[in-house]
Structure 1
Amino acid sequence: MAPKVLIVCLGNICRSPIGEAVLRHVASERGVDLTVDSAGTAGYHVGEEPDERALAVCAKHAVAIDHAARQVNQADFRKFTHILAADEANLRNLLHMQPSDSTAQVKLWGSYADGKPINDPYYGSNKDFQETYRQCLDLSNAFLDDLAKL
């Protein structure tokens, strides 16, 4: 069965949709069969497109991004094999909301590489979005490398 991965941040308009797009792109380039989605632990932006700076950084790197923000729900913990949080606060929120019948492995995405969180670029500049893209690229490769070991 192909892995199903959910990338999670707070509002699902910056880090997680970039992460979703980048992981899908890298998996495709590497020939890895993978389902990828993203969501937020909060419902602030449900139904909205990603932040225009997230769209721009993905376009700059020729990474397709098409997503409408949504909030994590209980079914996600059974639907996905891996739920990867952008930072510790979102990881805590996920672990708090994780139902007892969860089948997903829930962890910090950064734990596959340097252990660092993906800082929220929302109040930052284009440079911060570029850094988010770079981290998502590194973490996508690290995650896929880990899957290849199984």
Structure 2
Amino acid sequence: MSSSKPEPQIKALVVCLGNICRSPMGEAVLKDIATKRGMDVHVDSCGTAGYHVGEEPDERCVECSRLVLQSLARQISTSDFVRFTHILAADENNLRHLQSMKPSNATAEVRLWGSYHDNKAIPDPYYGGLNGFEKVYQQCVRLSHAFLDNVVGKAETNEV
């Protein structure tokens, strides 16, 4: 007799441009916070561009996140719009790109991640120093809490 664990209701995909800075950090932070809150949430990350496919997260991202980042960069695919319940864009440019490629059968809610908190984009820290990565980390923490606060209430309402 096998007992299979039910699939998480919330499946979030964090998206930035290259998937080596903001989105892998966001993925790790959102997973960590969900786990600490006792929530079963599936989280992944990707980029809208394929510049860094197969690469590990930027070393500054790893240093500032204080978490284990195990993802390898990948580019978004149209199947992601059905596999995930929420697609969280780091900034407006990536949001526009996601909306332009969203297939007609998409079921995921595609939003600016900041729309769950303060409507601010996550700035790309790639060309800056550690301070920029630290600010992105702090922003990911705030956005993760805001996202989970928002979607958990909706998920619980829909369970009935």
The interval holding the TM-score normalised by the smaller chain is over 0.9
The gaps in structure 2 that reach 5 residues or longer are 1-7, 155-160
Aligned sequence identity (%): 58
TM superposition outliers: structure 1 runs of 4+ over 6 Å: none
Show CA shifts across 1:13-67 (max 9, x none): 00000000000000000011100000000000000000000011123xxx22111
Equivalence for 1:135: 139
TM-score (structure 2 length as normaliser): 0.90
TM-score (structure 1 length as normaliser): 0.96
Residue 133 of structure 1: how far off its partner (Å)? 0.2
* 1:21 and 2:28 correspond: yes
Aligned-partner residue type, residue 120 of structure 1: D
Match of residue 77, structure 2, among 73, 77, 100: 73
Number of equivalences: 147
Cα RMSD after superposing both structures: 0.7
The gaps in structure 1 that reach 5 residues or longer are none
SS of match in other structure, 2:12: strand
- Larger gyration radius, structure 1 or structure 2: 2
Residue 120 of structure 1: how far off its partner (Å)? 0.1
SS of match in other structure, 1:143: helix
SS of match in other structure, 2:131: helix
SS of match in other structure, 2:33: helix
Aligned-partner residue type, residue 29 of structure 2: V
